[in-house]
Amino acid sequence: MACIRFVLGDQLTRDVSCLRDLAPGDVVLMAEVHEEATYVRHHQRKIAFLFSAMRHFAMDLASEGVAVDYVRLDDPGNTGSLGGELARALGRHEVSGVVVTEAGEWRVRAAQEDWGAALGLPVQVREDDRFLCRHEEFARLGRPGTPLVMEGFYRQMRRRTGYLMTEEGEPEGGRWNLDEENRAPIPRGVRPPERPGFEPDAVTKEVLALVARRFGNHFGRLDGFDYPVTRAQARAYLGWFVRDALPGFGAYQDAMRQGEPMLFHSHLSALINCGLLTAAECCDAAAEAYDDGAAPLSAAEGFVRQLIGWREFIRGVYWREMPGYGASNALGAGRPLPDFFWTAETELNCLRQAIEGTRDNAYSHHIQRLMVLGNFLLLAGIDPKAVQEWYLIVYHDAYEWVEMPNVVGMILYADGGLFATKPYAASGNYIHKMSDYCAHCRYDVRKRLGRGACPLNLLYWDFVARHRERLSRNPRARHAVQTLDRMDPVRVEAVRREALAFLDGLPVSGTY
């Protein structure tokens, strides 16, 4: 007898496991639901992107002759929840069971386990094998709570996948990781390639109007929306990146420039995380470009490392450490999120640049997320739960499985160093080295104290003093404590007073 194949909004892959053996009479169910759009107040662009991508994916399936039952957000009777829409669909279709691919987030995966009992028929939950590392494989790295190292995992993944490996089983170029070649500041005369845009069609325009009407009070902007929303557009965007941007990505992937939030970055993460592209096909394309001499090894390796190394590793951390991982707060951070994270109204130009780009694009690249926004949030001691919510709200590639470990483990060191070898804390000097932001800022990055001093300098030394004992035990952070100990104690106290005054003066009003 026929089944319902329930496809979620981040499973828009034709070969996703729940669709792999479609049989005559099967019905593919897809649903836009209020609960998923508002469990946090997602960026307007994220909602628009996903709803449009879902509608186009459903149209592609229907064009193959697949029976699709698609529930729109404003359809009469829409219950607003995934479980509710599955129950309603069972009333419309005579089927013997339900087939789903495991959800990427803990809360939805737990709900899937309950659907069968609630609905009174079998619900088969299949593995999401679009990821290259299975849960069981990652679990062999150690029990929950035991330290992890991404580099060893990455090398295992390189060996298993064969990406950028020689016939002798050695890494291309003789080194596994070329991260040191990925840190060049971008010279003034270097211009990134022109990035393609995709004019919204009638389907996307309808979605944009719906989102403006229903979620117009959420963070972000919809004007100028031109992101890929179909499989064909996603493939074209990948082709552009590999051909035009990947050659420059390697050297400049950590760089930042005033008014240019994208530079050489792929901007593919949202397409991969929702399923319009797979990590494997993106790695295939980058590896092929290297093999053809169209991209340097530092670029191809850096891109592949982000996908089969970091992305797979982070996902493994999430599932191994849940459900309690999000409550981690090893540094005892508790300050509320400043209002300027919603308004971008701050005189710290580096933060303003990153937040404005996030507001306009639902995206910022990894260095802006870690070393600009994340660095400030770490130094300021902002409550980890508030930070997790902010990152989950504002980025169109954010799902809890990727957001939570990056925030808890990498950005805030809230798990006490489960996989980050040190807190990624930096003074304003890092921003000055990797960008031209400081030249456009009212604060002086060279000043550590007094009128006009860069607040990041004040906050950095206050952070080191506040966590002196912990940092002194960390081989990679110990040098900061040693430098602090050589400073004039009177000056240190003055720095800490100014840091506290700066933080206490930030307007806060709660969540957006």
Whether 260 and 192 have beta carbons less than 8 Å apart is answered as yes
Mean pLDDT for the chain? 96
Predicted confidence (pLDDT) per residue in 46-105, tens digit: 999 999 999 999 999 999 999 999 999 999 999 999 999 999 999 999 999 999 999 999
Three-class SS state of 449: coil
Predicted confidence (pLDDT) per residue in 376-391, tens digit: 999 999 999 999 999 9
Instruction: Indicate if the pLDDT at residue 512 is higher than 70.
Output: no
Q: Which domains does the chain have, with CATH numbers?
A: 3-126 (3.40.50.620), 135-321 (1.25.40.80), 340-504 (1.10.579.10)
Task: Tell me what percent of the residues of the chain surpass a pLDDT of 70.
Answer: 99
pLDDT at 372: 98
pLDDT at 51: 98
Instruction: Indicate if the pLDDT at residue 509 is higher than 90.
Output: no
Q: Mean pLDDT across the stretch 437-454?
A: 96
The pTM of this model reads 0.96
Predicted confidence (pLDDT) per residue in 318-358, tens digit: 999 999 999 999 999 999 999 999 999 999 999 999 999 99
Measured CA to CA, the distance from residue 359 to residue 45 in angstroms comes to 9
Q: Which of 339, 336, 343 is closest to 387 using CA atoms? A: 336
Count other Cβ atoms within 10 Å, centred on residue 411: 25
Predicted confidence (pLDDT) per residue in 145-178, tens digit: 999 999 999 999 999 999 999 999 999 999 999 9
Instruction: Indicate if the pLDDT at residue 511 is higher than 90.
Output: no
Count other Cβ atoms within 10 Å, centred on residue 210: 18
Task: Enter the tokens of residue 491.
Answer: 């000056």
Instruction: Indicate if the pLDDT at residue 510 is higher than 80.
Output: no
| Residue spans of alpha helices (H) in 275-408 | 279-291, 297-304, 312-321, 340-343, 349-361, 366-367, 375-380, 384-394, 400-405
Residues 6+ apart with CB under 8 A from 245: 192, 193, 195, 264, 265, 266
Predicted confidence (pLDDT) per residue in 308-320, tens digit: 999 999 999 999 9
